[in-house]
């Protein structure tokens, strides 16, 4: 199994250069596909065929995050100064407005997120594979490196694949490369640069779809190891503050200073 792990970690350029027999041998597979037992073993080793998901913060942190809104921060500053100056009723009213607004925003986003998750689970995409020479429809997340996938017009590419045989295969890679027109794919081994993996003519990548033709292909990378998975992991990571974010924070800081000057100095 260790050589399968090594083969799956190989660069796309290396995989594109392999002949069919060498490729099937490296992934301990065959034209008949994997057995269900072998696929299950590979799930334990490689995980399921799912791109990285954004980690959800605890509910308490999600609620507190709603108070980071610039307007909320300004109102909280005003309420705090009012409380400090003995204007208790005004301060409590402002605190109440901020809390109610933040809670309403949190519940709306939380409910929308749950509904979106349910909808995603209901629409479960499948792929056609060979398992022990038998043609089967399985959920995309159950694909494993070494699976044999059968592609036809209209199918989505369920993982990163090395094409073994094809007939008039054209793939739309616009989601990954921005190319407006379908790309013709073949099965012949080619030498390519791993840095330009998406241009390899005998590789098909998760996130693209078959426009025309048909093909038999070998799953070489799944989940976070795919080109799409790497992109999803990058997108789901915590982003750094943009110039706009920094500008907003600077503005909020300035407003708090103005409030401090307008409220504290006249009372002194």
Mean pLDDT computed over 29-40: 93
Domains of the chain: 2-49+143-222 (2.70.150.10)
Least confident range from 29-38, 61-70, 162-171, 202-211: namely 61-70
3-state secondary structure 210-241: EEEEEEEEEEEECHHHCHHHHHHHHHHCCCCC
The mean pLDDT value for 54-82 works out to: 75
**Token representation of residue 125:** 């995409």
More confident residue, 258 or 212: 212
Residue 14 has pLDDT above 80, yes or no: yes
Statement: residue 113 has pLDDT above 80: no
State residue 134's pLDDT score: 92
Q: Is residue 99 pLDDT above 80, yes or no?
A: yes
Give me the pLDDT at residue 21, please.
Answer: 93
Tell me which residue of 234, 182, 176 sits closest to 210, measured CA to CA: 182
Residue 236 — very low, low, confident or very high, per pLDDT cuts 50/70/90? low
pLDDT at 71 over 80: no
- Determine the average pLDDT of the residues in 230-259: 64
> Mean pLDDT, to the nearest integer, of 111-131?
70
Is residue 33 within 8 Å of residue 133, measured between CB atoms?
A: yes
Which regions of 51-205 does DSSP assign to beta strands (E)? 126-131, 134-139, 148-152, 160-172, 183-184, 203-204
Cα distance between residue 171 and residue 183, in whole Å: 5
| Cα Rg of the chain, angstroms | 27
CA-CA distance, 139 to 257, in Å (whole number)?
A: 57
pLDDT tens digit sequence for 182-205: 999 999 999 866 567 888 999 999
For residue 64, the model assigns a pLDDT of: 76
Average pLDDT of the segment spanning 12-30: 92
Closest CA to 226 of 36, 21, 50: 50
Distance CA 46, CA 41 (A): 9
C-alpha to C-alpha distance for 201 and 199, rounded to whole angstroms: 6
By 3-state DSSP, what share of the chain in percent is helix, strand and coil, each rounded to 5? 55, 20, 30
Q: Give the pLDDT score at 235.
A: 55
Q: Across residues 126-144, what is the average pLDDT?
A: 92
């Amino acid at each position: 199994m260790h050589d399968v792990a090594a083969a799956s970690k190989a660069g796309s350029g290396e995989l594109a250069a392999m002949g069919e027999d060498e490729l099937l041998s490296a992934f301990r597979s065959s034209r008949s596909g994997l057995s269900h037992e072998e696929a299950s073993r590979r799930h334990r080793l490689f995980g399921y065929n799912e791109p990285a998901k954004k980690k959800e913060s605890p509910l308490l942190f999600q609620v507190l995050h709603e108070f980071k809104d610039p307007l909320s921060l300004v109102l909280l500053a005003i309420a705090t100064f009012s409380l400090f100056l003995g204007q208790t009723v005004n301060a409590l009213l402002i605190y109440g407005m901020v809390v109610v607004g933040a809670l309403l925003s949190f519940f709306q986003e939380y409910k929308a997120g749950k509904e979106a998750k349910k909808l995603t689970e209901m629409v479960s995409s499948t792929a056609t594979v060979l398992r022990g020479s038998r043609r089967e429809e399985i959920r995309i997340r159950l694909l494993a490196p070494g699976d044999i996938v059968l592609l036809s017009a209209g199918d989505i590419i369920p993982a990163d694949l090395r094409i073994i045989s094809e007939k008039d295969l054209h793939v739309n890679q616009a989601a990954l490369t921005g190319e407006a027109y379908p790309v013709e794919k073949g099965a012949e081994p080619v030498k390519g640069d791993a840095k330009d993996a998406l241009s390899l003519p005998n590789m098909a990548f998760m996130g693209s779809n078959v426009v025309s033709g048909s093909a038999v292909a070998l799953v070489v990378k799944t989940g976070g190891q795919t080109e799409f998975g790497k992109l999803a992991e990058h997108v789901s990571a915590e982003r750094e503050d943009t110039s706009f974010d920094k500008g907003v924070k600077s503005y909020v800081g300035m407003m708090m200073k103005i409030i401090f000057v307008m409220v504290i100095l006249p009372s002194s």
